[in-house]
Amino acid sequence: DAGITQSPRYKITETGRQVTLMCHQTWSHSYMFWYRQDLGHGLRLIYYSAAADITDKGEVPDGYVVSRSKTENFPLTLESATRSQTSVYFCASSESRGEVAGKTDTQYFGPGTRLTVL
């Protein structure tokens, strides 16, 4: 089915372990984003990507690594998970940043991954 999917939906891990959250979109959108959502902070941008092999830091990138070898996939890795990384993680995609050549920067979100680090 077309859209944006995330896996796993729920994950429990331990401090110090490596965890990878997957994101896949079927629209061939150029831009993809990772956010974390915490009470009192709203959504905060972790990393984003403008195209395959192009990534850039957001507001809270420390402790996270991303890659984008294919347009449709944008995995997020926590190299050594910490309790402060317990959160709900959302992946999103958009055609563009700003409205360029008729394209919109409306973002389409996945269902989220609830990560608990013990």
Query: Interface with another protein by CB under 8 A: which residues?
Result: 35, 40-43, 45, 48, 58-59, 90, 92, 97-99, 104-112
Integer angstrom CA distances of residue 59 from 28, 54, 72: 25, 17, 23
To the nearest whole angstrom, how small is the minimum distance from the Cβ of residue 93 to another protein? 11
Report whether 47 contacts 92 (CB < 8 A).
no
Nearest to 37 by CA among 107, 105, 117, 115: 115
CB atoms within 10 A of CB 91: 28
To the nearest whole angstrom, how small is the minimum distance from the Cβ of residue 15 to another protein? 26
Nearer to another protein by C-beta: 81 or 112? Answer: 112
Phi, psi at residue 93, to the nearest 5°? -140, 155
Nearer to another protein by C-beta: 5 or 71? Answer: 5
Nearer to another protein by C-beta: 82 or 104? Answer: 104
To the nearest whole angstrom, how small is the minimum distance from the Cβ of residue 57 to another protein? 10
CB atoms within 10 A of CB 25: 23
Nearer to another protein by C-beta: 47 or 85? Answer: 47
To the nearest whole angstrom, how small is the minimum distance from the Cβ of residue 5 to another protein? 10
